Structure 1
Amino acid sequence: MSKEPIIRFEGTRVILSKAYLAAQPAGTLQLTFAFGGDYHNDVHYTAANGDEFSYTFKGTGVELVGPVGPALGDIDVYMDGVLKKTVSAHSDQRLVLQPLYSISGLTDGTHTLRAVKKSGDLMLVDQLKFTVPAAGTDPVDPGAPNPPTGPSGPTAPGPGSNSGGSSSGAAAPPSTPEPGAQDDTPNERHTAYIQGYPDGTFRPDQPVTRAEMAVILSKAAPQAAGDTAGTAASAFRDFKDGFWAGKAIAAVTAAGLMKGYEDGTFKPDQAITRAEMATLASRLKPDASAAGSGFHDTSGHWAEIAIAKAQGAGILNGYPDGTFHPSKALTRAEAVTALNRALGRGPLYGTAALPWSDVPAAYWAYKDIAEASLDHPVKARKAGGEEWAAETVKQP
């Protein structure tokens, strides 16, 4: 007997199966649509500088995904006619499906993304993804298997203050606590383990590199606690002594949380994937609950067992079509969501506003970003998560 598809299209209508909807928690769903192309799976291809394509969508965010490689160059990205960023798709190594640009927190309505080829031999676009929020409500947390859910560990500052902001998460003023939602008194503190950038942004949709992950784990994971500031002698041949993340890499590899490659490299600038985060989660939470059922695209994958364990523990989930996308690069927002779950932290409720200009209150990972980026007393909510305690937090 054939199985009813989870999703089907009829003209301009998107229809979800009753069985899929019945399995979701009460409330509303946020849907993320992705479109692939047919020129080597490229949505757009050109070799002419100045050539461009435009994509009009209705939603609150969009992500431009494409390959990087030696033949690719710079792309000017415009949103609603305003130049937002010049992104580089040039790389010594050819990689596909890399996040090139993303924006979130747009007003719910019609927007147009325009990409203009600026340099290089080619401009290629693999996918465009846009987010459609549920009408009249906040987007759902990705704990349910709708859009891709919180994956990899968060990023940390690059060399110097490259990923900077304040030295610890800025304290946002408390808002009115939810009635009856909190416990009595805070009994410990959670220290911020990820920072924003000097321009006041958090860049939630930016991918996380292995070096950044090492730094964040060295701050967040008890197994890697210790003096990890500054640099250290390199045990890997692809970065020199004095590398900005050297001590953090030494700490997390000594703790067994991260490992190098068989060729003696660590690949510090390579993006963390969803499969790698699943492996990290299994090391952070080895006593996780029973394994999940797995996904269509993880059978035989090197991280299949870790992915199933992370699924069973509620740390990582998949997509509505039953896939996991193990090789997909993880974003900062997905990172903190997964790390919070693995470490038993947050989400943090009751903050009036975050100090990051690109994380509005309606953003799906707002409460997990708050938990990860703000120093705060731990005050448990009876309904789950944590409540911001009404106190002034002194910054160093």
Structure 2
Amino acid sequence: MLKLSGRGLDKKDFFGKSDPYLIIEKRNDKGRLVRTYRTEVIKNTLDPDWKPIKVSLDRLCGGDFRSEFIGEFSTTPKDLFSCEGSELQFDLVNPRKAKKKKHYRNSGVISLKTVAMDSDHSFLDYMFGGTDLCFTVAIDMTASNGSPSQPTSLHYTDPFTPNQYTIAMQAVLEIIQDYDTDQLLPAFGFGCRVPPEYKVSHEWPLNGNSDNPFCQGASGVLDAYRRCLEEVRLSGPTNFAPVIRHVSRLAVEHQDGSRYYVLLILTDGTIDDWTECKRAVIEASFLPVSIIVVGIGNGDFTEMELLDQDVWLLEEGGQKACRDIVQFVELRKYLRPAADGTDGVRWSKVALAKDVLQELPTQIMEYMRRRRLRPASAASAAAAAATAAANPNAPVTE
């Protein structure tokens, strides 16, 4: 059992202190650092005091107490890549021996015989190479949000103060729409009873058009959202799996790197189809799909944290995700009472959007690398080079 705390950490948040957590890593048999534990996040503090950590010795250090320290050295990337074919040598120093022995020089020498850097494609290479980001919006319209006609409802529409769903959509959609080439965003509500028979739907198009659920940009989604609230009845349950699988069905048709799908889910709390939701996320992890979940209100978001598996990949029924595709953030972290004491809120669209989209480039790159997909421009150049090599006498065209 380990009990850890921190003191005087750096301030990182825009409107607060920091939300620190601790990661413990160990080196595996290949010398790579792997995570063995991650603590809980403690909100808004520079002096965190984490809960006791209970972790087995096998997981912490492989049960190995026998490894003896020989020495260490440090260097910089500039030094590493300055050798240009010549051999670099580094003194291996044991700090304890250096203090005790007057004429101590080193505990051996490490030689760097070869250094090479593999060039890799970047996120921007794929964006400029023609990969299209396709965004879908899904809004929680279950009864737990409260009746839209009541001021206490998370869906209440005030002509002067936007509700939290509107705040989240404005912050995120106004940025992501610029990465969607046609800016046509399909938007759905889930957990609501819809006309004319008022049966529960988990994929109800906000614009009421099942054949064409697309809205024109962020403003189009917001307009459709407001109109939809007047037509549907909030109900339940809160099921994520249908809309996740809706996006997955689209992604199955575009696994060549030409498109990458991003599902933005706005919800106020507990997931009712937990097992099916996990299965849907695991299935989507093998496809060009990422899922962003924004928690609205003050509900219990424990399950959302479990979906956002930053340490261990999601598992269910013997199936395991191949990568982490979920990013979760709580909107309330970015809201605070107005300084003048009114009921209004102040919020930071920039900070919210930054955190919401933080993991997306990495998730996209993980998919591309896993499938060994090159940016369209690089793939075309490689194909041309291969053709030229196979036909050296072929005429050159421009």
Return the TM-score normalized by structure 2. Answer: 0.26
Larger Rg: 2
Q: Which has the higher contact order (CA 8 A, sep 6+)?
A: 1
More helix by share: 2
